[in-house]
């Protein structure tokens, strides 16, 4: 299990996180008027080393129909689109139902509890795999064999596919998680972090989740190259947000200057020596602002393109 999977595993080991996810992003579940105070973790050990991953989480929730009917939530955490996910979910659901039959001692004439398979996806590219098993089966639409084909589907939550303005209107931990997983320019991320801090200030009894969101904030900041350390407690980060914003501003200004200098250097080299080589392009792209200034000065007096990058020569 990767570090990201482990963090998600801990996040969705909290009933409040699961409740927020379902209330905000699975409206069909909220229509059942369920009492989330009775959420219970189900510890299942399916037989076989490849049948179930360590990071999977399963919950059960009594429904209004009675204590003997349960809604199982099977969560899969994915960072890449899996074309065969529908096949995997069929295996998982069958194994889970076998566990329920044995654990609750269901007998002939009893009914199985309903299952909901959730696939949480946080990859940068959008999910492209079919969410229904029928879309993977090679049969013509009019084939009489369709009647005997399995009908399995899963509920996909592609975090990056939700519009940012839609997520911003939702006041839940799940929405904040989805937003942190999306890419933001520095100034927007500073505002988002401030909203995360504000949410936890308004909900003081959530220390465990606060620590996990501190790690999510740290990952989001590292993704933008923030040099400032993130405090161990999320509540201590608000005073440094102004400094963080200014640090990113200076970084972007420097990057903008470097990009402009690199473009000017390449135009100068093109005019003096003809189209530059791929090697020269790579050296320009890798140079910082000081290095670009140095190369620009050399390009003004060098007699060949190679001499611009050859430090053994002087002009």
Please write the tens of the pLDDT for every residue from 41-76.
888 766 544 554 555 788 888 776 665 456 677 777
Residue 234 sits at the vertex; the CA angle it makes with 233 and 236, to the nearest 5 degrees, is 75
pTM: 0.73
> How far, in whole angstroms, is CA 44 from its chain's centroid?
26
Q: Distances in Å between the alpha carbon of 4 and those of 15, 58, 150?
A: 19, 18, 33
Spell out the residues 6+ positions from residue 238 whose beta carbon is closer than 8 angstroms to its own: 194, 197
List the one residue out of 155, 72, 76 whose CA is nearest residue 114.
72
The pair phi, psi for residue 119, each rounded to 5°, is -115, 110
Residues 209 and 17 sit within 8 Å (Cβ to Cβ): yes
Provide the percentage of residues in the chain whose pLDDT is more than 70.
81
Residues 196 and 176 sit within 8 Å (Cβ to Cβ): yes
pLDDT value of residue 67: 52
Please tell me the least confidently modeled range out of 46-60, 158-172, 258-272, 298-312.
46-60
Please tell me the least confidently modeled range out of 68-72, 98-102, 213-217, 271-275.
68-72
Summarize the confidence of residues 204-224 as an average pLDDT.
85
pLDDT bracket for residue 315 (50, 70, 90) = very low
Distance between CA atoms of 125 and 117, rounded to whole angstroms? 21
Please tell me the least confidently modeled range out of 17-26, 169-178, 271-280.
271-280
Summarize the confidence of residues 211-237 as an average pLDDT.
76
Distance between CA atoms of 246 and 7, rounded to whole angstroms? 29
């Amino acid at each position: 299990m990767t570090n990201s999977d482990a963090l998600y595993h801990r996040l969705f080991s909290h009933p409040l996180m699961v409740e927020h996810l379902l209330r905000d992003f699975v409206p069909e579940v909220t229509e059942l008027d369920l009492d989330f105070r009775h959420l219970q973790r189900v510890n299942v050990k399916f037989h076989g080393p490849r049948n179930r991953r360590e990071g999977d989480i399963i919950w059960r929730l009594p429904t209004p129909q009675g204590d003997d009917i349960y809604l199982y939530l099977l969560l899969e955490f994915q960072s890449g689109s899996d074309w065969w996910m529908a096949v995997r979910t069929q295996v998982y659901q069958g194994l889970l139902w076998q566990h329920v039959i044995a654990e609750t001692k269901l007998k002939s004439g009893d009914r199985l509890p309903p299952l909901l398979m959730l696939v949480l996806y946080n990859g940068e590219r959008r999910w492209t795999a079919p969410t229904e098993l029928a879309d993977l089966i090679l049969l013509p639409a009019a084939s009489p064999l369709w009647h005997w084909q399995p009908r399995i589907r899963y509920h996909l939550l592609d975090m990056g596919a939700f519009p940012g303005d839609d997520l911003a209107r939702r006041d839940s931990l799940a929405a904040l998680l989805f937003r942190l997983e999306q890419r933001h320019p520095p100034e927007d991320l500073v505002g988002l972090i401030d909203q995360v801090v504000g949410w936890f200030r308004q909900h003081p009894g959530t220390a465990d989740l606060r620590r996990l969101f501190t790690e999510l904030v740290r990952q989001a900041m590292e993704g933008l190259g923030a040099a400032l350390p993130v405090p161990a407690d999320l509540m201590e980060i608000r005073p440094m947000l102004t400094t963080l914003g200014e640090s990113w501003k200076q970084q972007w200004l420097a990057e903008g200057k470097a990009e402009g200098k690199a473009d000017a250097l390449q135009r100068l080299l093109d005019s003096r020596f003809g189209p530059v080589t791929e090697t020269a392009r790579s050296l320009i792209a890798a140079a910082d602002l000081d290095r670009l200034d140095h190369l620009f000065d050399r390009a003004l007096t060098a007699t060949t393109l190679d001499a611009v990058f050859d430090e053994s020569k002087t002009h």
